[in-house]
Amino acid sequence: MSILRLSSTQPGFHEQLDTLLSRETDTGDDIQNLVADILRDVKQRGDAALCEYTSRFDDWECTTATLNIGRERMQTAWNAVSDRDRQALELAVERIRSYHEHQKQENWEYTDDAGLTLGQRITPLDRVGLYVPGGKAAYPSSVLMNAVPAKVAGVEEIIMVVPTPEGELNDLVLAAAWVSGVQRVFSVGGAQAVAALAYGTETIPSVDKIVGPGNKFVAAAKRQVFGTCGIDMIAGPSEIAIVADGGHPEWLAADFLSQAEHDEAAQSIFVSTDPDLIDAVDAAIEKHLEILPRAEIARTSAETHGALIHVQSLKEAAEVINTIAPEHLELAMDDPDSILPMIRHAGAIFLGHFVPEALGDFIAGPNHVLPTNRTARFSSPLGVYDFQKRSSVIRATRQAVHTVGPAAAHLAHREGLQAHALTIELRLADKE
């Protein structure tokens, strides 16, 4: 196996790093055009188009009757999974809810010296759509990470769509929907599911926002419906960056592969000041790949997009990380706080030797829906704030208008908006 080796001292290091990070994660015109056609067709023909695409792509006989998965079926799935499954799901829901309760925003107001009372009012979205992938693997954790924050935010109705290849329903995914409070589930995926959520059909109601990861067709569809409804983000292939100055090579190698096994397009990068540790981790990666069930996927990911990077100092390591802006960042060090203040861009940060990324994926509490493809430079993890909106509140007394109104009217005239100015001047002329 050959994973790319880079060193901060070699000529052209930064150019090589940029090349490594420039994965093509967007979709080309052919996919964009195909998705546009699907969106338009579902918008125009509703359930008929939705079922045609579902039957074609997922290979089962879709009808309007079979699209809907009722709460009874979710409860049946909850009862069908094992006791250990239920206990794990309940613990995860409890921890995710507890963490996200801290994100709830509050209404506030203050009165300034001019006499205006200004504030902010927080209200939840009415209805959101949760997209859950259903291809190479089933992701009950994705259900929890999207549904629980929405419930904490106060969203009234959570609708879930999930592809069911060959008509197969995954009980663990439906159990997760049941325990996290999803009200309605529909057995549809792909761009057609995004279209249904955005525009509504006879069976599936339109939503205010679509959240959740998907393949490139789903990503293209979310991009195109933005504006008709909100979206959380355009999710790309998963990523992890690990900074270590010691520790167990076997642990670090497993952490490296934890994202590589997701997808051939995933990216894993290991950064260290210790060249001997890099060699040991490289050897341990190969050892793990001899026994992992998803070794072929992980190997392709590591060889195509992975890297082992030697740096001269923790300051250099931080600079590399800020360039990568990774989705997941492990600071697997005895003293991770020595480098933490230098980190500016990362979706989720795991501190120390005992916090593998997988802990955050399933049970720690913070959200695992994270910015990918370097968007951590300007984006944040999914949270309660994604399911709430802010309204500005303004109150003014007669005296307040007389205090600040002349300046407002002047600015309105300067912008050529005389009717704007008139609304203020009429109130300024009122002496009662």
- Kindly report each contact of residues 73-78 with a partner whose C-beta sits within 8 Å and lies 24 or more positions away, as own/partner: 73/169, 73/174, 73/185, 74/174, 74/175, 74/177, 74/178, 74/182, 74/185, 75/178, 77/169, 77/171, 77/172, 77/173, 77/174, 77/175, 77/178, 78/174, 78/175, 78/178, 78/179
Q: What's the gap between Cα 391 and its chain centre?
A: 24
**8 A C-beta contact, residue 185 and residue 72:** no
In the sheet that holds 307-310, the strands lie side by side as 4-7, 307-310, 267-272, 239-244, 328-332, 348-351
DSSP label of 262: T
Q: What's the gap between Cα 89 and its chain centre?
A: 20
Cα torsion 248, 249, 250, 251 to 10°: value is: 60
3-state secondary structure string, 24-52? Answer: CCCCCHHHHHHHHHHHHHHHHHCHHHHHH
248 is catalytic: no
> Hey, what are 189's tokens?
């995926």
101 is catalytic: no
Find the catalytic residue in 261, 327, 330, 357: 327
Find the catalytic residue in 100, 305, 328, 345: 328
Count of Cβ atoms closer than 10 Å to residue 182 Cβ:
25
| Residue 107 to residue 111: CA distance in whole angstroms | 14
- The residues assigned a catalytic role are 327-328
